[in-house]
Amino acid sequence: MARRLSRLSIVSPRLALTALAALIVGLTPPAPVHAQGDREALIQIEVRDSVGLPLPDAAVEVFTVMDGGVFWEWARVGANDLPAGINLLRFSHPGYAPSTFSVPLRAGSVVSLRVRLMPERDSLARGPTALDARDVNAIGLAIEGRVKTDIIGRRRVVERAAVDADATHRFGPLMRRVRNTELTVVPASGGSFRVQSQGSTGRSNCPMLVMVNGDRRRVFPFATFDQLYGTQDIEAIEVFPRAGSIPNSYQVPGSRCGLLVAWFKTL
């Protein structure tokens, strides 16, 4: 079931994130009334530029279904608005390339997240094409008492621009053309493709699984996923190319292979 976010929980675009100091501080929603109540935030966020300077006016958005809505859309939020579960977030600031990736949140722990945004001109100067998967420049730790667990892992993100550049509307051809994924994509029978990752044993021929919209109940082998879904409504694809670097919150019981997380506007 899609998570729904009340429109009362959206922070006005004119409101900024709380000023950030040397330590990570949480986002404090300035509105006095929230649908989620006055509960403690499950995440603390620090957004900085490529050289480490704070960007206190950076926007944080969540990909969600609004109350009364049908489609998944982006909504600007404060930390208290984010529910438990795997949330696709987007961080942006004028003059910088946006960064999109999901963050798992869980009651009983607090995620400490540091995100770095690259200047738009620098990202263009480096020459990434629309068919490149982007590195996630972030450090995230789930903190429970003295225990700290990585929630980012090793991942790349295929953004909407890369999907729009592909005219096949199929995930097999798309993943074959996208560079920088660390995956092996080979043709199979009937025009299909096998997408292979590095398994827990270190071999690079481990079949990928696909999770839909961060829902661990909706996981498919890639071949099945490619038959059921097209790319027309995709918003982003997260690529975990190595089984050994998938954070616990994303791991599928019994799987020893890599994982794709596909985020759709409609399901």
Domain span at residue 217 reads: 156-264
Which conformational region is residue 209 in: left (phi greater than 0), alpha (psi within -120 to 50 degrees), or beta? beta
Q: With CA atoms as reference, report the closest residue to 104 among 147, 150, 156, 160.
A: 150
Is residue 49 domain-shared with residue 85, that is, in the same domain? yes
| Residue at a domain's end among 150, 169, 195 | 150
Q: Tokens for 133?
A: 């998967």
Looking up residue 236, the CATH number of its domain turns out to be 2.170.130.10
What pLDDT does 162 receive?
Answer: 77
Query: What tens digit of pLDDT does each residue of 162-171 get?
Result: 788 777 889 9
Alpha-carbon gap, residue 220 to 228, rounded angstroms: 10
Q: What is the pTM of this model?
A: 0.83
Q: With CA atoms as reference, report the closest residue to 58 among 19, 108, 25.
A: 19
What pLDDT does 10 receive?
Answer: 42
CB-based contact 170:124 (threshold 8 Å): no
What pLDDT does 123 receive?
Answer: 53
Question: Phi/psi at 171 (nearest 5 deg)?
Answer: -75, -30
Is residue 178 domain-shared with residue 195, that is, in the same domain? yes
Q: Provide the b/e sequence for 139-153 (b: ≥16 CB within 10 Å).
A: ebbbeeeeeeeebbb
Neighbouring CB atoms inside 10 A of 30's CB total 12
Question: Between β-strands 72-76 and 99-105, what pairing exists: parallel, antiparallel or unpaired?
Answer: unpaired
CB-based contact 257:208 (threshold 8 Å): yes
Is residue 8 domain-shared with residue 132, that is, in the same domain? yes
What pLDDT does 22 receive?
Answer: 33
Is residue 41 domain-shared with residue 140, that is, in the same domain? yes
What pLDDT does 39 receive?
Answer: 66
CB-based contact 174:231 (threshold 8 Å): yes
Alpha-carbon gap, residue 203 to 174, rounded angstroms: 23
Q: Low-confidence residues of the chain, pLDDT below 50?
A: 7-37, 127-129
In the chain, the amino acid numbered 35 is: A
Is residue 129 domain-shared with residue 183, that is, in the same domain? no
**Total structural domains within the chain:** 2
What pLDDT does 14 receive?
Answer: 36
Sequence-ordered strand ranges (E) for 35-123: 43-49, 59-66, 72-76, 85-92, 99-105, 110-117
